[in-house]
Structure 1
Amino acid sequence: MSDRLASGKIPASALVLGLAGLIPFVAGAASQWAKLPMLAPDTGLRLAILYGAIILSFLGGIRWGTAIGPYDTGRQSTEFSASVLGSLAGLAAAFLPSIPALALLIAGFLMQGLWDVMSVDAGRLPQWFGRLRMILTAGAVISLVATLLAVLAT
């Protein structure tokens, strides 16, 4: 294992790309609270929900990849099965009304983040991944909560 991974330092590319991936969440939330020149509130709301669904599915794909690891078949089955839950939640969110869609995405991101951090604690994923997931989960959830609060206020 490289010194960087052993030290738990988040790879710069993962951090930069991960933080850039928060832009659509923040833009969707901002469009609910301020008049943005290129993002109407309705479009920003759809952006937040659909992008959230895509990213939740992406996170499940990461976990599908980790399930390929050296696990017994029972453990591997559990990991594969659990990894598709984010995709299913995201798909459902894309077709739900705004309030339940946002609530489902918030719950999905919190559960995915918890699973990721628990997997790091169990030694199944590198230390840096847990810290990165905490940062990105916080950004996504705060943005989705801000979006939800704006929708509830209207």
Structure 2
Amino acid sequence: MTQIPRSALILGLAGVIPFAWGALTLLVPALAAWGQATLGPRFIGPYVQLYYGAVILSFMSGVLWGFATKADGGRAATGYALSVIPALWAFFMTGGGPVSAAMNLIFGYAGLLVLDFAFWRWGLAPRWWMQLRVLLTGLVVLCLAVVVL
């Protein structure tokens, strides 16, 4: 396998920070109190995870769209159609309470990983793409699981 470029790895891991922060503020009440007093209630617990999680799923739709531009004909059309699924999933499936929204985000990120794999197999994503996506998806799912459990 090809090594993940350092900048992509660092920025990808930095993108996990809001998920990890939300999980930590659920697990450590003192941290939640500090976060609420300092940052406000929207930036702690499941609230930061769910809002940011929907934003990132939508962002990943754009990434997949970009990969689809490398394809031609029917594969391009399929790629474009598949690329909008994560954003639509985030839009329709993150309402309701925090537990159901977190569970739906977990399913959304698992589904995104399947799409990542398809685009990678089609040669539209970089060789190192799946190494990065498996790592980041695992971390995000772990953090979101704190809300569900």
TM-score range, shorter chain: 0.7 to 0.9
Q: Distance in 1 between matches of 2:121 and 2:77?
A: 21
Pairs aligned (count): 142
Cα shift at 1:125: 1.7
Q: Is the 8 A contact 2:94 2:100 kept in 1?
A: no
The residue aligned with 1:115 is 115
Q: Is the 8 A contact 1:53 1:87 kept in 2?
A: yes
Name which of 7, 10, 13 aligns with 1:16: 10
CA RMSD of aligned residues (A): 1.8
The residue aligned with 2:87 is 87
Structure 1 unaligned residues grouped into runs of 5+: 1-6, 150-154
CA shift in 2, pair 1:55/1:146, >3 Å: same
The residue aligned with 1:31 is 25
TM-score with structure 2 setting the length? 0.86
Letter in 1 for 2:104: L
For residues 56-100 of structure 1, give each alpha carbon's deviation from its aligned partner in whole angstroms, at most 9, with x where no partner exists.
11111100011111321x222221111111111212244322122
Q: Distance in 2 between matches of 1:115 and 1:101?
A: 21
Letter in 1 for 2:142: I
Between the two proteins, what is the percent identity of the paired residues? 35
The residue aligned with 2:133 is 133
Cα shift at 1:13: 0.6
Give 4+ residue runs of structure 1 displaced > 3 Å after superposition.
40-43
Q: Distance in 2 between matches of 1:143 and 1:115?
A: 21
TM-score with structure 1 setting the length? 0.83
The residue aligned with 1:68 is 69
